[in-house]
Structure 1
Amino acid sequence: MSFKYFGSYKDFSFSTRRGNRYIHSENVQSFLDALLETSKERERVLKKGFQLWRARIGNDSYHTKVYLDENDEEGEEVDTGEPSPYSQDKMKPLLDLATEGRANPKGIPYLYLATLKETAMHEVKPWVGLSISVGQFQINKDLRVIDFSKFHRANKPTRREIINLPKEERTKLEVWFDIDTAFSEPITPNDKTSDYVPTQIIAEFFKTKGFDGIVYRSSLAKGFNVVLFDLRAADLISCQLAEVESVKFNFKYTNPFSYLIERD
């Protein structure tokens, strides 16, 4: 089974956002079946011990113990006011406070990580002067994941090579490209939660098929994002505090149209 046409993901996205969301139509189920059928070459195994990064905006305060006298064995914990990285329990999502994400629905937390420290820091979209707690995680077992980013790397086919492929193969590449782009699109405050539904359904679909997570490229920095469905699949091994010194934006004009205001 393969995808019917180039715009298959766009139709799937529209149907799940504007039509039936939880009870899938025949076309939506057909799309998901084709997704699974064409996913074989995108399966990866992240080996036990593989290290990833996670960033959170904010920090804790450093606490120390003060002993009143030489007979005080327990001491009193005092907040020094000095900033420190978030504690271990805060570097993973809280089970009862999970918000909507590209991969997870509200109330069902996934662990969002990145292959590079800088990627993790860019993904939280910090501003100048903010503190960021940056944790290094280590996978504690072999994990089977789906890599949406496979042909967005340096070895991706050229446009000429894609054009010369059979139609079915071209269609498959275009659909998977659209899905990777949908996952990679940065979340903004103006997003509607319905915008996340298509990618959430895809992530959950692969979760039900026995996969441990997904991989997709970052549109904000080099490196890749890794989403693990089980919060226990990776352990925090270190954490440090960083402060944002500068932020750089690059702009491009999206169309050739502009206008001038005529003055009398």
Structure 2
Amino acid sequence: MSQIFDFSNRESVESTMKKTWNDFRTAFARGDLKYDEVEKAKKVTFLKVFDDLFCNHGGINYLTKSLGDISKYSLGRGAKLKKDERIDYERFIPKNEYITVDNRFSPAGIEWLYLALGSQDSIQDVAKREIGILSGDRFGFCYFNISNSFYEKKVVDLTVANEIEFDDINRSLENFASNCMQEEIKQTLMTRKITTTTEKDELIKKLMKWCVFTYSKLLSEQIFLPVETNEKKLEYTPFQAMAKYFITLGYTGIIYSSTVYPDGKNIVLFDKNMAYPVDTIIDIIV
């Protein structure tokens, strides 16, 4: 495992993550990288470390869910409607001619399906905040279902540790082994001298989960932040590169935190046909 991140020190991880993300972002801003140059991007520290931890060391298994797993949640898409606009299901299906600005994970013109994810009631509130609905605005909302034929497809869940406190993440490891044994395993894992004994193999699994949850929580809290409209092109490019990276690993979508609604979640599906609109369209004046 890369030694760039010392996962035994949260403050160190947080500081290093911010720096490596900023370097990653700067590489795109300078024109050194394009969002679809995945192999080239994997040589930059942020994605190199991410790939090492999540792909090469199996950490991605903790973040992987199937579309069948998330089908138990409600999904939906909102829209800010014009006063005299007539609407039907087609209004909520992405079409490239109307996608004139970048989204977080996709450039302008890309027809990926962005949906709020959660309870039936909360996702409407998430959608309102995401599209900037204000008092007096006309708000449309449509629920979606995942198509059964795509239930086996896998998505990356970057929110896996959102509801867990850092102290709880640390405590789960502490409860399993003594401090001295933890340090021994940390050093073993960092130097790649991995023992094959049953006890230490189990400790390594626990440590990997600890690293993944710590990294994911910091990623969610420190990087998934609101972006001003005039900065979207610059700030979204590294996220678009991450999406391309996940596509190369065979993923079909990403679950991520809402940056404008506390505890809200969204999902982006790389194929808009994986979900379809259902039920009566909600059409209200807020």
How many equivalent residue pairs?
Answer: 222
- Structure 1 residue 182: deviation in Å? 5.9
Query: Given that residues 184 and 217 in structure 1 are in contact (C-alpha distance below 8 angstroms), is that contact kept between their aligned partners in structure 2?
Result: yes
Map 1:100-119; keep pairs closer than 5 Å. Answer: 100-115=102-117, 116-119=123-126
- Structure 1 residue 113: deviation in Å? 0.5
Answer yes or no: is 1:21 the counterpart of 2:49.
no
Residues 233/156 of structure 1: CA separation in 2 closer, same or farther (3 Å cut): farther
Q: CA RMSD in A?
A: 3.0
Q: Give 2:161's aligned residue.
A: 151
Residues 15/162 of structure 1: CA separation in 2 closer, same or farther (3 Å cut): farther
Residues 131/156 of structure 1: CA separation in 2 closer, same or farther (3 Å cut): farther
1:234 to 275, 278, 285: 275
Given the two structures, how large is their TM-score scaled by the length of structure 1? 0.71
Structure richer in strand, relative to its length: 1
Given the two structures, how large is their TM-score scaled by the length of structure 2? 0.66
Map 1:41-190; keep pairs closer than 5 Å. Answer: 41-47=62-68, 50=72, 51-59=74-82, 61=84, 86-98=87-99, 99-115=101-117, 116-140=123-147, 141-142=150-151, 143-154=153-164, 158=168, 161=171, 169=207, 172-181=212-221, 184-190=224-230
Residues 234/125 of structure 1: CA separation in 2 closer, same or farther (3 Å cut): same
Query: Given that residues 18 and 223 in structure 2 are in contact (C-alpha distance below 8 angstroms), is that contact kept between their aligned partners in structure 1?
Result: no
Q: Deviations over 1:3-41 (max 9, x none)?
A: 621224641442343352235252345234224342111
Q: Give 1:208's aligned residue.
A: 248
If you compute each CA radius of gyration, which structure gives the higher value, 1 or 2?
1
Identity fraction in percent: 21
Query: Where does the alignment leave 5 or more consecutive residues of structure 2 unmatched?
Result: 6-12, 118-122, 175-181, 191-206
Q: Deviations over 1:212-264 (max 9, x none)?
A: 101112241443111111111110113111222xxxxxxxxxxxxxxxxxxxx
- Structure 1 residue 93: deviation in Å? 1.6
Structure richer in helix, relative to its length: 2
Q: Give 1:36's aligned residue.
A: 55
Q: Deviations over 1:178-210 (max 9, x none)?
A: 432366423432324111122111112112211
